[in-house]
Structure 1
């Protein structure tokens, strides 16, 4: 068969699609909408790598951390900048205090001019928040006048909360990590990426396959909308002389036309969604519309693959349909579906994944092609097995009420359409179950215990150097919702100057606090302001070193540079007769050790040269108690850092991948719901005359509505059972691949299954109003 003949037949089918009257246009429209929704999500997926890259580039372009232990001299091109970030209602607020030291000070990306002291420029999202009633407590924390906004180049997302505030006298605070003097923005000491974690790569690969597979299934189902009516129309072509092969090519041409229009619809949906993306935030992630530019090569691949798939799916679907001049032989009992080749798909997938079982991290990376191929075959196996299972089950269903009989008989006559409608949801649920098992199985590897006792302490405040811990604790104690505040200052001491070439030598810690606070880290029988103690932690080596350094008359040198730069050298002679006390587990989880000083015992020269920590016990039943604490901390010093304690913390990349999965799953579920609704409406449209005839003969509307519900419920129940089986199998294999113990988190698995059932139930309920409009005798009218 020549290419010319193929082109002519496909073109004829495309003309029939657009010139076939109302029926043809409706079918093209339904196909285009279904395909368009899938194409829009595919284009969004192809745009994700660019969006992530732009976010990363913009984040790197505004970096201001130097971690430099040497002071840069003040010059016309220097800027002193301090990290004043905070958190508000669980959202990060990126804040910076800036003090340009000359006319050529580097401008931060997105900032046209630095604000004067007492003023600030803010991101649009932060401005909206500050202007709203929800921003009342944050306005108290940021007592600056808004004089401008940060441009898009200085933000990583449209909903990012960020500000730059003008300040004075920041230079004395330079410490290399929170306050620095810089001549340019960016990362001057970017660390090279380490060896990629093979488990994280596996997670990314499986996430992409699981998210994109349902999209492909829906596109394949969309090009078959209106298939039964189209096949009956094609019978007329046999009367005018076309053979069966030519008829199938013409049918493929109709599908091709619908898919091409679907590409246009998909592009339109994508452009609309691209604009909407700039105004929404999903799970803390937001982007600007300009970020979502599809990769050209991937966009071309989508544009070529979708029409080609439409042609192939149509030809595949018509392989068992006999189109004769007198009609379509489809209403006769079809041949039973064969099982053997359907089982080959999941078995082939397992065979591709089997060589990587037990590798974990110790045996190198996983073969990406085998991973993608194996997961694809297992998920495609769901789409292949489900029609056979639906056919086998409905063939054995017994009699029942009228609505049950109508539904069962419809499924027995054409179970393929019902299976196609739920294939996508079954694939999505199977993939989600497998991913949930994989995430749950490896979560322990990326989650570590912090060792913090969250029952006694819920928040920690890190004071800046020069802030008196005892005075700060008094302010926190007066804050609404604070039950108790324990303030402990501290620094390191050595037997030589920290500025010497040889270093400090042996070191010990010095803890400063009032008697009540020191009793939190050591057992004190008596204590009054002015006392000094030597605490033993129980560690033999540490206690021996402390005893050596605290001999009477020995000079200790204090580290006033906090380890980041060379500070002033302060020496202190150890007095004689220091009482020894036993250290106990303190608020930070470590036993007290070294030298313990009350405030009156601190040498005057050392006052203001050390930082401190305040450990807070909170009444979490008080609304916004964390925000009250942060506001108090900001009033003490804008650079004060607050930390909410948690028993565990997760690896950032692992958390990012899981967040990406949730964002992608939300988009896929939205596509599933929209596509299912279109598919349901298409099926109701094809059965309009049949439903109207039943109503004309006296069938109750309630009976017909229940029959439609049963026709949806039976296939989805079977699909979810199959998804559960395949998902558990795939999840177990993936866990074996990473060397994790195979376990099933049944609440999460059942939640995923329930979400899938909920989507179908919602779509079914939404299709009821159109169904009730179709249940009228005048639906028998024809032209």
Structure 2
């Protein structure tokens, strides 16, 4: 009978059912999305493993055979987006094809991912097209990609050569046996993962619990009519539970539709450089079954729990009488119990068996659920003490005094989300130093570094970069060693050859002109520079070995009598040189073999495309890799992935917060339609009513955010203590989270104004 009431209650019943179904459906869609995430991550990992090829390690190459393939790294970067690229040269008819590729591209051809093809064919990808001029002859199928928006390509290359000790080109006989990151369990990252999932999932459950109570007051008045025609109180509660059950089942259907729509659109979305194919988002059957069972069960339990304090009699509902004051003792037990569970974990060995993940999960859950228990008590106590004011203020306060529980339910979800987000921000900020490695680079002096790989003459490369758009300065160095003997030397010292402007970036020089040479003694340890720098001594270039494919031809160099002394300073990568510094004019006649070129680039910071111009020049010069960006710090990949997941999940939860608040606001306005019409009929101004509705939203939100901030700071402090980090409050993050929540509420208030104005008409008093 209750289910029939849900579906056959006329226009009012349909409106109530629709609001409940949409509210529950939004939460169900997000729950299904979260249940699909483990499968999406597993598929991405499997496909990444299946296509792995290069080990990037110096190892003995395989012997050429009819089932071998030469693979070279040809990846690049475009506007901070990684472009995965490989060069291929099959050595026989049974050479392995990469996953997703049906035919090897020939030299001058390439197969690309759909996203890269779209980019290259657009005007936006014109600069990237200069680096990838090959003709597109096909696309990489889904099994060869980890995401729908991934940029990737394979191109043919006739002249790939495998060199021992050079990890960018290798010979393989199958894909899936390349470089793999060793898996390790970091307890801090495990803790972060647990808290992230709890913080993202708990608001969803709170929203679903609030959605199944839409239309509660009207429902209770209908139940009074049932008492009048003969049903007893137990039967009445079962009918109410059946009505809630029907609404939740409709919500499951609507949520499934929402999820399928989001799943279909997921292939065209790239959030924080993470994308998936729709086929990845397949919910785990067990978790999906759990959602399908838990949502209706929660709807029934919440309804029965809500009716425990309502007396439904044949002549009406006893709700308008003064309600009993909410008790604090059991509400405060929840957060206190949560802190009690977390406290024993402080100071424990996080790498030992005494770090109990279930205890941590329970503690975090109790603290966050404590927000939902405390907020109704806080709202009731505060609004009962608020005094007189304008007409809009009095209308809002009186409404809140009569139904503070409804107002608290509206903001419970956003309060839980803010409390969890504040705690997570504190935890991420507190442990980021543990997962952030500071480099020795100085990006203020140079922003890119290019390695010549002994394949491009340094002078030609430097000249090419100097004429590149967006490159302000070029510092070019040739580096090698000189020794005291032609063969089997006893002493050797590094040598750096560059023009005066470049040498001044690595040493403090007394004066410099072409033809000068300088000696820099080592700061500590054994130093051969002093003994080797005696005037008239003969030193030898390339006397140590003939590595990197360079012929072993030692070249003599006589130490000049007027050699100057210099003091070393750190270069843009933090390296401090010693040994000898030579200008090009001081080199032996015919140059010196065995030198390795390095170039540092200072870019025009006002030109965003400057790095891409430099990368294009590097490829025109024939460099096998892009110049490396110099950064001051690098973060752990797993930590970064977790932060990315948090941002993606937070975006979804924030969207749910806004949508659910809007649905809840519309439901509240629909409930008050006759009241608003009565006030308008008595001459109340629309501005006054609009302000009263705004106050009714703003006061609970303000109280909820204050409580959420306090609980979030307590939870964040406990989690930081567990990780052994000092408790530091990141007030910027706290203000950002509360500001975002406030912005969402303001947006919802603005969007609810048009339906509010439509409801404020005297003809709303008409009834049948």
The TM-score, its normalising length taken from structure 1, stands at: 0.92
d(CA) in 1 for partners of 2:85 and 2:389?
A: 68
Spell out, residue by residue over 1:417-457, the C-alpha distance to the aligned partner (whole angstroms, 9 max, x if none). Answer: 11000000011011111111111111111112212122211
Residues 159, 603 of structure 1: alpha-carbon distance in 2 compared, 3 angstrom cutoff: farther
- Residue segments in structure 1 that go unaligned for 5+ positions in a row: 1-11
**Structure-2 residue corresponding to 1:466:** 455
Q: Which residue of 1 aligns with 2:383?
A: 394
Say whether the 8 Å CA contact 1:464–1:637 is kept in structure 2: no
Q: Partner residue of 1:158?
A: 148
1:131 aligned partner: 121
Distance 1:40 1:507 in 2: 68
Q: Supply the distance in 1 between the matched residues of 2:430 and 2:73 (Cα, whole angstroms).
A: 37
**What is the CA–CA distance in structure 2 between the aligned matches of 1:368 and 1:81, rounded to whole Å?**
44
Pair 1:208–1:604, CA change in 2 (3 A)? farther
**1:154-553 to 2 correspondences below 5 Å:** 154-171=144-161, 175-188=165-178, 190=180, 192-194=182-184, 196-359=185-348, 361=350, 366-490=355-479, 509-522=494-507, 535-541=520-526, 543-544=527-528, 552=538
* Residues 360 and 737 in structure 1, CA contact (< 8 A), matched pair in contact too: no
Q: 1:491·1:560 contact (CA, 8 Å) conserved in 2?
A: no
CA deviations over 1:385-411 (Å, ceiling 9, x no partner) = 100111111111111111111111111
1:233-260 Cα deviation digits (max 9, x unpaired) = 1112222332212211211111111111
1:149 corresponds to which of 135, 139, 148: 139
1:561 Cα deviation from its structure 2 partner:
4.2
CA positional deviation for 1:554: 7.3
Residue by residue over 1:550-595, the C-alpha shift from the partner in whole angstroms, topping out at 9 and shown as x without a partner, is 9856796445546xxxx56726366453657443322332221245
What is the SS of the residue equivalent to 1:782? coil
Which residue matches 1:703? 688
**Cα distance in structure 1, aligned partners of 2:742 and 2:295:** 28
Change (3 A) 1:530 1:477: same
Structure 2 CA distance for aligned equivalents of residues 138 and 526 of structure 1: 43
Distance 2:135 2:198 in 1: 49
Query: What's the CA shift string for 1:687-746, capped at 9, x where partnerless?
Result: 111111111121111111111111101100100110111111111111111111111111
Cα deviation, residue 135, structure 1: 1.3
- Alignment-derived partner of residue 52 in structure 2: 63
1:572 to 554, 562, 578: 554
Q: CA deviation at 1:614?
A: 0.8
SS of the residue aligned with 2:254? helix
CA contact (8 A) 2:519 2:533 kept: no
SS in 2 for 1:685: helix
* Alpha-carbon distance, 1:74 to partner: 2.5
In structure 2, list runs of 5 or more residues that go unmatched: none
CA distance in 2: counterparts of 1:81 and 1:138, whole angstroms: 22
Contact 1:511 1:597 in 2 (8 A): yes
- Secondary structure at the counterpart of residue 554 of structure 2: strand
Deviations 1:603-632 (A, max 9, x none): 97975x654321011221134111111111
Counterpart in the other structure of 1:5: none
Q: CA deviation at 1:661?
A: 0.4
- Matching of residues 74-85 of structure 1 within 5 Å: 74-85=64-75
Q: Which moved more, 1:155-164 or 1:420-429?
A: 155-164
Structure-2 separation of matches of 1:651 and 1:121: 32
Separation (CA, whole Å) in 1 of partners of 2:47 and 2:7: 47
2:103 to 92, 113, 119: 113
Contact 2:110 2:155 in 1 (8 A): yes
How many angstroms does 1:413 deviate by?
Answer: 0.6
SS at structure 2 position matched to 1:399: coil
1:678 aligns with 2:663: yes
Q: 1:360/1:660 Cα in 2 relative to 1: closer, same or farther (>3 Å)?
A: farther
1:592 to 553, 577, 589: 577
What residue number does 2:645 align with?
Answer: 660
Aligned residue in 2 for 1:99? 89
2:676 is aligned, of 670, 691, 701, to 691
- Relative to structure 1, the CA distance from residue 191 to residue 86 in structure 2 (aligned partners, 3 Å threshold; closer, same or farther) is closer
Give the Cα–Cα distance (whole angstroms) in 1 for the partners of residues 484 and 328 of structure 2: 81
2:737 is matched with which residue? 752
| Counterparts in 2 of 1:573 and 1:491: CA distance versus 1, 3 Å | closer
Q: Which residue of 2 aligns with 1:772?
A: 757
The whole-number CA distance in structure 2 between the counterparts of 1:160 and 1:652 is 18
* Distance in structure 2 (CA, Å) of the matches to 1:278 and 1:76: 38
1:168–1:534 Cα change, 3 Å: farther
Higher mean C-alpha deviation, range 165-174 or range 748-757:
165-174
Q: Which residue of 2 aligns with 1:637?
A: 622
Q: Alignment partner of 2:95: what SS?
A: coil
Deviation at 1:463, TM superposition (A): 2.3
Maintained 8 Å contact 1:175/1:561: no
In the alignment, the residues of structure 2 paired with residue 111 and residue 556 of structure 1 have an alpha-carbon distance, to the nearest angstrom, of 45
Kindly state the Cα deviation for residue 520 of structure 1 after the two structures are TM-superposed: 3.3
Report how many aligned residue pairs link the two structures.
761
Distance 1:13 1:127 in 2: 56
1:531 offset after TM fit, Å? 7.5
- Tell me whether 1:718 sits opposite 2:718 in the alignment: no
Contact 1:345–1:378, Cα closer than 8 Å, also in 2: yes
Q: What's the CA shift for 1:530?
A: 7.8
Give CA-to-partner distance per residue, 1:651-700, whole Å, 9 cap, x none: 12111111110000000000111111111111111111111111112111
Q: Is the 8 A contact 2:455 2:623 kept in 1?
A: no
User: What is the SS of the residue equivalent to 2:400?
Assistant: helix
CA contact (8 A) 2:482 2:540 kept: no
- Maintained 8 Å contact 1:199/1:360: no
Query: By how many angstroms is 1:201 displaced?
Result: 0.9
* Cα 1:365–1:127 shift into 2, 3 Å: farther
Cα separation, partners in 2 of 1:526 and 1:426, compared to 1, 3 Å: closer
CA offsets 1:208-238 (integer angstroms, 9 cap, x no match) = 0000010000000011011111111111222
Question: What is the RMSD computed on CA atoms of the aligned residues?
Answer: 2.7
Q: String of CA shifts for 1:119-168, please: whole Å, max 9, x gaps.
A: 22111111111122211211222222222211111111111111112222
Given that residues 224 and 313 in structure 2 are in contact (C-alpha distance below 8 angstroms), is that contact kept between their aligned partners in structure 1? yes
Q: Match of 2:634, SS?
A: strand
Closer/same/farther in 2, CA of residues 114 and 602 from structure 1, 3 Å limit = farther
Offset at 1:72?
Answer: 2.4
The equivalent of 1:736 in structure 2 is 721
Which one is further off, 452-461 or 294-303?
452-461
* CA distance, structure 2, for counterparts of residue 191 and residue 545 of structure 1: 41
Query: Residue 744 of structure 1 aligns to a residue in which SS?
Result: coil
